[in-house]
Structure 1
């Protein structure tokens, strides 16, 4: 970033209903944050003491920049906290998982007792195949209950899981298997998406042809296609379960032992294998699930992500199960068979906490509010947003139409690398559309210049985390130098790669990725700001902005726009959109071009891949597009 830049801030806010104030696990933000600052290690120690440990820690934190060790000397098994402690207590027969099929006709329910037994059987099945502590297991599965069983089965015996989203192709799967040196691959015959069967096993067959580490492939046969297995290498999921014992002693894991490797997907280059460890990750995901979502024993939690993303790891599997929640999982996409399917599921199941992506919210805006009005959403108590900045227009639509102007919206900023929520507006606190919120207690975040000096409110800068936190990644698999780069700039703080701005009250707005800044005539323009100004206009459903080389200005702005149903592209509309951006942000931020498109290129986690648009525009190779949806 060549310089800092002014950002126009809107002071609009919403106060939560009185019933949400002073009635949360966290309590009011300011006292809670002061308690953390007064003694950070005591703060984290008290959280960790809410969980079960085989052996307590000798020291809360060892920090040797840029390397952290949390709860050193402690022994644990994360599945004991996700399962055993509930089964041995009052939640034994509480519903742990509710699964809804894409066709909305099939539903399965598992109690904590049933899930516990299934996990232990699968853990023993893995051991019978020769899997040991530290071995790598790759999961390439549809989103069914067996996926959760497999994840926890790996953790039970100390096998390091690496989950690959079931929409990736063979090349992407192969690269992750090879980098992790996975010994076992777990898959299924098919997954279902928009009514079509996707043949997962045939993709695995191709992916392992040049992956010598793979010894066995476990196949979950869920269709009537009678998929044949190759005897030497392939085994049936339920056949190996039937041959396994019911009880599996949890492997004693050191706090710093690796739990999983997750390969990032996003807008930049080759995926990185982010390594998370057992103890700190457990504490961080438990803490944020309970205290940020304000999770109650009566809640039904639905996070619409997939286990293949960090959101699925942290806020479908480990965090909610550690708190003893009832978790809804579903194969459904938001607009199939119609744009009301998610609202129907919320009504049917009685979902109380709903956590989704701004991309989905903007898609619902495109279809209109009528779909949501068809269903009773009164069960909802807390709404969440994840994956990218929630623009003010989407916030307002979500707040009014889904939350009925009463549910708090928790707009969470965090990353694969952070493992847990870092910045959010806590339940009961004043919400500001467009602002993620403040650093949660436990996190010290700031907006700084390139030298690490704090910038004034209203001035854009680099978002940094100043001190370590328990669920932080420990390294990049096979590339520790890449890990160290996160801590090498901006005063030696953890640099997230995002640009942000703070207001006078300390609320932080995420402007966009640092590599998504367009420099027009010496002025830094954040893509998110221009996109937000476009989406604020009634006809626009979604927008993506890129910079193009310009002889006079250095770069000019081009926007790609999808329209809501009922609007047609045309020159007059194009001129109106450009004019309104000028009136909102000033002439320097006006797009020089607008192209109307049917869809935007996105990762499967919903992030717009601007570099693909830019490469196409300039006739360049887009690089690794293994994370591209469709």
Structure 2
């Protein structure tokens, strides 16, 4: 029996034994005696009586175990012409100091904190500082519009918001503070304070009595130690677009999350402690949470935080420059990034200008990888290109070619095998399992493995309604696909109305609501159409009210402006 198959079968037949062994790679303040609690199914709990601290496992443990002077984080920002390295010791000290800032502001275990920041080291420090004291962070992507941020403020009810004066999009300054101020004004719930990182590219005006300067509060704070939390306590909330058009707060626990992500680094990505791992994503998305911040640091790796683009900062050689300079072993990004590189450099001429011999594997996720882009990457890089499939809700891969377990031939269009721990089945409308090569609904038999969402923030019923109500005993992924005769998985499309624009999940229902609110619009629909670069683009179709005399081009312009304002620039 192959190593993969042996591991996979054991993970399903003896999940408690399997994950109990995996959990030995995590340091526990109070060791667990129970692995899986299922008395309140479908609300399962992993390691329910264990206590730990995720920040300790990412930073302090590595300092104590001989990695104090190893690079933990490399901040590479072509948009500011900056490269800065942080050792595990330096990152721990900065994090413990900012944890002191949080406690000075009255933040304690169980409180929520919203982080609305660009791709800067302070965003990572803020996340880890929350984890250090048992506070629950909710990172909101810096490009989101004020009303989107306001909805998250009302749902998460943060004691504190951490933000920056601006973000930088290639050569354009995006002021964050006006968006933050508008969001707080719109929200019904008001945070007690905001901490603002002033970037030299744009200084923000602070609101007296509410806003605090990052550097000022750090100078006054003292470092604090890690606070042990229950394995089942929330580490973070991450909002995702739902088929209802309203955001859903995916909850991630501490214990199962640490165990699963630590396991994934070697078994899925074949990364060893000390290796350099680069996830070219954003901390505002689940990939950034899992594979920029938590998994690499839990595994004792060096992680790259990249504030730039695949093209335009300055050219289509940007990724190869980073790989050469930092000796990256594995790159994880969205297919959109490679479509952009391929568009600007179809012959791959920039690749030859750099020494990328350190790169062993390219991983793609976030949207379906079109075979043409995958083949281009394979031919130009001469390394395995691995498409794998997962969701914000799962937090790590459902299907992958597990490079640390056993390498299988790549099938273009397939995301390879089901990852150990996940029991993926293809079901028909009645919930019956379909035979191989038959398209159906992709569902995961409960319980989900460690690391997946245990529920939605303050909304157990929405968790049941959204994921567990279609098939009894199953989590519905809302994706359609099939499993072939070799056990390889083919994810073909979404079942719902959420479309994927360059890795960003956007609700067509939410966009239809914006279009329908225009006074001249009678009926509307939004669908996703194929786009060679971004995977999908939203296409809005509208019919105007009878008697409207406004020029069509003016109406279109107004509708685009509304969508940009209400949903965000990525949607229009």
Q: CA, structure 1 residues 46+627, in 2 after alignment: closer, same or farther (shift >3 Å)?
A: farther
Instruction: Give the alignment partner of residue 232 of structure 2, picking from 256, 274, 277.
Output: 256
Q: Secondary structure at the match of 1:510?
A: strand
Q: Secondary structure at the match of 1:497?
A: strand
Deviation for aligned residue 1:376: 2.5
User: Is 1:307 the equivalent of 2:283?
Assistant: yes
User: Is 1:320 the equivalent of 2:299?
Assistant: no
With normalisation by structure 1, the TM-score equals 0.78
Q: CA, structure 1 residues 560+493, in 2 after alignment: closer, same or farther (shift >3 Å)?
A: closer
Deviation for aligned residue 1:46: 0.5
Instruction: Give the alignment partner of residue 460 of structure 1, picking from 436, 439, 444.
Output: 439
Q: Deviations over 1:536-564 (max 9, x none)?
A: xxxxxxxxx9xxxxxxxxxxxx995657x
Unaligned residue ranges in structure 2 (runs of 5+): 502-507, 509-526, 546-558
Instruction: Give the alignment partner of residue 342 of structure 1, picking from 302, 314, 319.
Output: 319
Q: CA, structure 1 residues 483+127, in 2 after alignment: closer, same or farther (shift >3 Å)?
A: same
Between the aligned partners of 1:397 and 1:139, the Cα distance in structure 2 is: 37
Q: Deviations over 1:216-259 (max 9, x none)?
A: 1101112154434233111111211111113x121120111111
Instruction: Give the alignment partner of residue 389 of structure 2, picking from 400, 413, 416.
Output: 413
Contact persistence 2:75–2:83 (CA under 8 A): yes
Between the aligned partners of 1:625 and 1:559, the Cα distance in structure 2 is: 15
Instruction: Give the alignment partner of residue 437 of structure 1, picking from 416, 435, 444.
Output: 416
Q: CA, structure 1 residues 560+78, in 2 after alignment: closer, same or farther (shift >3 Å)?
A: closer
Q: Deviations over 1:54-105 (max 9, x none)?
A: 0011211112432111101101110111011101011111100001113372
Contact persistence 1:134–1:160 (CA under 8 A): yes
Deviation for aligned residue 1:147: 0.7
Q: Secondary structure at the match of 2:68?
A: coil
User: Is 1:608 the equivalent of 2:536?
Assistant: yes
Pairing 1:553-592 to 2, within 5 Å after superposition: 560=529
Contact persistence 1:140–1:187 (CA under 8 A): yes
Which residue in the other structure is 1:167 paired with?
143
Contact persistence 1:266–1:627 (CA under 8 A): no
Deviation for aligned residue 1:387: 0.5
Contact persistence 1:102–1:195 (CA under 8 A): no
Q: CA, structure 1 residues 433+268, in 2 after alignment: closer, same or farther (shift >3 Å)?
A: farther
Between the aligned partners of 1:38 and 1:495, the Cα distance in structure 2 is: 21
Question: How big is the alpha-carbon RMSD for the aligned residues of Structure 1 and Structure 2?
Answer: 2.6
Deviation for aligned residue 1:265: 3.5
Contact persistence 1:410–1:426 (CA under 8 A): no
Contact persistence 1:144–1:331 (CA under 8 A): yes
Deviation for aligned residue 1:154: 0.6
Q: CA, structure 1 residues 472+99, in 2 after alignment: closer, same or farther (shift >3 Å)?
A: same
Instruction: Give the alignment partner of residue 214 of structure 1, picking from 145, 168, 191.
Output: 191
Which residue in the other structure is 1:230 paired with?
207
Deviation for aligned residue 1:617: 6.0
Contact persistence 1:449–1:490 (CA under 8 A): no
Contact persistence 2:273–2:300 (CA under 8 A): yes
Contact persistence 1:75–1:254 (CA under 8 A): yes
Structure 1 stretch displaced more, 342-351 or 322-331: 342-351
Between the aligned partners of 2:267 and 2:567, the Cα distance in structure 1 is: 36
Contact persistence 1:220–1:237 (CA under 8 A): yes
Contact persistence 1:81–1:322 (CA under 8 A): yes
Contact persistence 2:529–2:536 (CA under 8 A): no
Instruction: Give the alignment partner of residue 113 of structure 2, picking from 137, 146, 150.
Output: 137
Q: CA, structure 1 residues 346+619, in 2 after alignment: closer, same or farther (shift >3 Å)?
A: farther
Q: Deviations over 1:161-210 (max 9, x none)?
A: 11000111111111111111111110111111111111111211111123
Between the aligned partners of 2:326 and 2:241, the Cα distance in structure 1 is: 31
Between the aligned partners of 1:628 and 1:104, the Cα distance in structure 2 is: 22
Contact persistence 1:452–1:492 (CA under 8 A): no
Q: CA, structure 1 residues 625+202, in 2 after alignment: closer, same or farther (shift >3 Å)?
A: closer
Instruction: Give the alignment partner of residue 625 of structure 1, picking from 562, 567, 571.
Output: 567
Deviation for aligned residue 1:134: 1.1
Aligned residues: 521
Deviation for aligned residue 1:297: 2.5
Q: CA, structure 1 residues 38+487, in 2 after alignment: closer, same or farther (shift >3 Å)?
A: same
Between the aligned partners of 1:171 and 1:203, the Cα distance in structure 2 is: 9
Contact persistence 1:29–1:429 (CA under 8 A): no
Contact persistence 2:175–2:202 (CA under 8 A): no
User: Is 1:381 the equivalent of 2:360?
Assistant: yes
